[in-house]
Amino acid sequence: MMIWVKLLTSALIIACVTELAKKFPLYGGIIAALPLISLLSIFWLTVQGETVKQIQTFTIGVIIGLPATIILLLVVYVMLKHSFPLLVALVAGAIAWGLSLGIQKFVLNHFNIHL
């Protein structure tokens, strides 16, 4: 039952954001950038009885993923601005995201930082 509540909540949020983005693309983007998914995930992890340590680990994972996500969005934006097809821009963004995470992991390991 809980999975259906999660699915419905997530679907409603996505539907609302995309409907808003149709009329007001800038505001839709700003709302989409809010940490709604992270906050919902923390809420559901808490409801499911996960430990504070598990939620802390999840939160640091979100923080670690932010730079790569920013790069993904920048690549998609620039490619769309230069009239690349959406699918090409999304694939390039996903590749840039993966490379960014790999580089980030390499740099952190180089400085002996293990999260």
CB of 44 closer than 8 Å to CB of 68? no
The model's pTM:
0.77
* Element (DSSP H or E) covering residue 112: none
Helices and strands counted in the chain (H then E): 5, 0
The predicted-structure confidence for 55-90, as pLDDT tens digits, reads as follows 999 999 888 889 999 999 999 999 999 999 999 999
**Summary mean pLDDT of the chain:** 91
The predicted-structure confidence for 6-21, as pLDDT tens digits, reads as follows 889 888 988 998 999 9
